[in-house]
Amino acid sequence: MKKHSLKLAMVAVFATVTIACKNDKKNENQAGEAETAATASEEALKFKAIPAESTIEWKGSKPTGSHTGTIAIESGVFNVKNNIIESGSFLIDMNSITVTDLESGDGKENLEAHLKGDAEGKEDHFFNVKEHPTAAFEITGVSEKEGQTVLEGNLTLKGIKKNISFPVNVAVNGNEVVVTSETFTINRTDWGVNYGSKSVFENLGDKFINDDIELKISIKANKA
């Protein structure tokens, strides 16, 4: 009886751990509720982003393939103390969405208009930049996890603010700061970007577009 009870207990523990691990993996790219923005100490130094040397790379996919592109950083600041980022915020120019895997005249312009919602009658497609010309990111915290620096912050997209986190490499060299993220994913439907999502619409067959968008951020900033 004791052996039987022990076996049942071990099975229950194993099942619980397995489910927890699966849930962690499933939820690792889900956005959370917005959090309070981080503040800088009086001793922190301000670094202003250089838009011409900063960018966001994106990749979206569907059953028939994928597309890549960039989005520009409009402006932003990092506040740094002792080579550690304390706070910061950035504006993202959604009108700058560019497709990089297509040539001009070969669908590039059409896809860019589609993503922006500029195509006739397509204002509700993807990012609707007419109503939401900018997105924003504000840092809520910086932590160390498993030897990696993790940047946490609120991403505001289409007027919806959600908290995300992703690993970054931070290089502080005198009057310059360079922050480069590893490739990470967000679920676009967390921000109401629902076009072509099979998790939102039924009967799409193989015409759906994946909810996950891959992002990689690189920001260069100089001391203000």
Domain boundaries, given as residue ranges, for the chain: 1-30, 33-223
Read off the pLDDT of residues 122-139 as tens digits, 9 standing for 90 and up.
Answer: 556 789 999 999 999 999
Predicted local distance difference test score (pLDDT) of residue 19: 39
Predicted local distance difference test score (pLDDT) of residue 20: 40
- pLDDT less than 50: residues of the chain: 2-27
pTM for the full predicted model: 0.84
C-alpha span between 95 and 214 (Å, rounded):
19
Predicted local distance difference test score (pLDDT) of residue 118: 72
Predicted local distance difference test score (pLDDT) of residue 123: 53
Predicted local distance difference test score (pLDDT) of residue 125: 72
Predicted local distance difference test score (pLDDT) of residue 8: 44
CATH dotted code for 33-223: 2.40.128.110
- Write the Ramachandran bin of 128: left for phi over 0, alpha for psi from -120 to 50, otherwise beta: left
Half-sphere exposure of 95 (CA within 13 A, CB side): 6
Predicted local distance difference test score (pLDDT) of residue 120: 58
Predicted local distance difference test score (pLDDT) of residue 17: 41
Indicate the pairing of strand 45-49 with strand 212-223: antiparallel
Which long-range contacts does 25-31 make (Cβ < 8 Å, 24+ apart)? 29/184, 29/185, 29/186, 29/187, 29/212, 30/187, 30/190, 31/155, 31/162, 31/163, 31/164, 31/186, 31/187, 31/190, 31/191
